[in-house]
Structure 1
Amino acid sequence: MWLYVSGASVMSECMARASMHALPGAYIPQCDENGDYKSEQCWRSTGYCWCAYKNGTEIPGTRSRAKIDCKHIQDNLIEEYDMQYALPLN
């Protein structure tokens, strides 16, 4: 996580981007209490939401206007990764 200095305060990349005075309708990231990007990101003016990693990178194939369960999607990605890279039991 990158830290940015703004005046006397230090903030995460997510917090710095969220605090920028963007144009109306611009995407504003949602940050958690640790300064990471929340797992569900929404672009309010378009009505689209998507799942994101803690670094803010969009998880491919998750952008939708319908309700999405990012926790479930992330759990499945972790499970797939674990299965792909698990050591064989011999």
Structure 2
Amino acid sequence: AGVLTTVHLQLPFRNTKCEQDRDNVTVKHMIGAFIPQCDEEGHYRPLQCHPSTGYCWCVNSTGQKIEGTNTPPGTKTPNCEAPDHPKTKCEQERDNVTVKHMIGAFIPQCDEEGHYRPLQCHPSTGYCWCVNSTGQKIEGTNTPPGTKTPNCEAPGKTVAL
């Protein structure tokens, strides 16, 4: 009499892309490398933070960084569940200079909506000038320290500080 034997084949457990990326860095013992954060189901957590640098950012479902969500250390982390508007050019330039701790460098001044303030002043040099909506200096508006600042609402005029 023949004996019927059932053979169970175990398929290899498939890790998600996030788990594979995380394990790849962990196995290589890459000190200081970013290790992706995965949730309980193995998917990328929407908020990713690099413990060595302090930067945080939002990612999509494939782990790709969402432009404009990068935040430097010591600042408010982005809300990746309901993200604020992506960072504007002004905010990106401001954050880039701030993070690099470039002593004496000009830091663009942005308004509450992230747009360039019409009047820009460099605290280290004392110079002030007007800019257009893209942050470009408007010729003829540069004023040296100790003088009246330009009135960017009415070019050609000055205002006392």
Task: State TM-score, norm by structure 1.
Answer: 0.67
Q: Which has the larger radius of gyration?
A: 2
- 1:8-47 alignment runs, 5 A limit: 8-20=12-24, 21=27, 22-47=29-54
2:78 corresponds to which residue? 68
2:57 corresponds to which residue? 50
Larger proportion of helix: 1
Q: Secondary structure at the residue paired with 2:14?
A: strand
* Separation of aligned partners in 1, 2:46 and 2:18: 12
Task: Give deviations 1:17-70, integer Å, cap 9, x for gaps.
Answer: 111224110010001122211100111111101001111011101011222211
- The more displaced of 45-54 and 65-74 is 65-74
Higher relative contact order (CA 8 A, sep 6+): 1
Q: Matched residue pairs, number?
A: 69
Task: State TM-score, norm by structure 2.
Answer: 0.39
Seq. identity, %: 36
Stretches of structure 2 lacking an aligned partner (at least 5 in a row): 1-11, 87-161
Q: Secondary structure at the residue paired with 2:15?
A: strand
Aligned-CA RMSD value: 2.0
Runs of at least 4 residues of structure 1 off by over 4 A? none
